[in-house]
Amino acid sequence: MVRCNGWPVGVCNWSLRMDMEQVAQAMKKIGLDHVHLSIAPVLEKSGETFLDKVKQQQWTISSTMIDFPQEDYSTLEKIKVTGGIIPEEYWPVNQERVLQAIAATADLGVKYLSTHFGFIDHRDKAGLKKFYQRVRKLADAAAKKNVMLLMETGQESAADLRRVLEELNHPAIGVNFDPANMILYNMGDPVAAVGVLAPWIKHIHAKDALYTKQPGSWGQEVPWGDGQVNTDAFLRALKQAAYKGVLAIEREQGENRFEDIKLAAERLSTYRG
């Protein structure tokens, strides 16, 4: 199976846009045995069937993932107001969504559950206090199930995210580090950010991107190794930080997802750092 400098290489199953059997076939063709698994199907009527099918696969699930139905990624401004657990009107539903995802993650025997928690504004003291209360409530529930919640990078700078992590100071909160997201949101250099967030990094997305040339707009996601992450330097930074987890390939744009993921796996497997 594919390894990069000793790290297992996996894939985010949602990147392939396939059903479970097709994902399994694609993973075998590429030589992957680790998967970052979207747990959203568990919340549907067929949830129990989904879990049964997952358990039948010969996969190592490096983490699960949950998103939120109200999220609108069409523009940076729209995701700022619709993202994560922050929107007030959706909190009751989203709280239950995360609690169910925690339970399903524990049922699968998986340690990590990742999500985007939403844009954090330190200038809004009342909003920040409410955000911390919500995160702690969810993290407390996760801890009881031996699950750690992972905050995904990108929507704030590494320094701002570190401040949040230090202020929360919760043992069931870590980081899913996505270097491309930092570029897509124009939130700093992902290589330098590894050092800032190293104590909390538990899981990695292998994803690449180009910085935007128009402030206020998205950057552009590209195949791993074709963007401005500086992938070799990024992997060296992970090694220096003594990272011991999985590299999960994510590809959310483009029409040749399988080929792009296969290319990323090949490039990761030939890295010698």
Beta-carbon contacts of 51 under 8 Å, excluding residues fewer than 6 positions away, are 42, 104, 107, 108
For 188-239, what is each residue's pLDDT tens digit?
999 999 999 999 999 999 999 999 998 888 999 999 999 999 999 999 999 9
Query: Alpha helices of the chain — where are they, by DSSP H?
Result: 20-30, 47-56, 76-82, 91-107, 125-144, 158-168, 179-184, 190-197, 231-240, 257-269
For residue 102, pLDDT over 90 is answered with: yes
pTM for the structure as a whole: 0.96
- Domain, as residue range, for 98: 3-269
Q: Tell which residue, 64, 158, 162, 77, has the closest CA to residue 113.
A: 64
Mean pLDDT computed over 61-81: 95
CATH of the domain at 45: 3.20.20.150
pLDDT at 50: 87
Distance CA 249, CA 242 (A): 20
pLDDT at 34: 98
Q: Tell which residue, 132, 165, 160, has the closest CA to residue 150.
A: 165
Domain count, the chain: 1
Distance CA 216, CA 97 (A): 31
pLDDT at 230: 97
Mean pLDDT computed over 67-92: 95
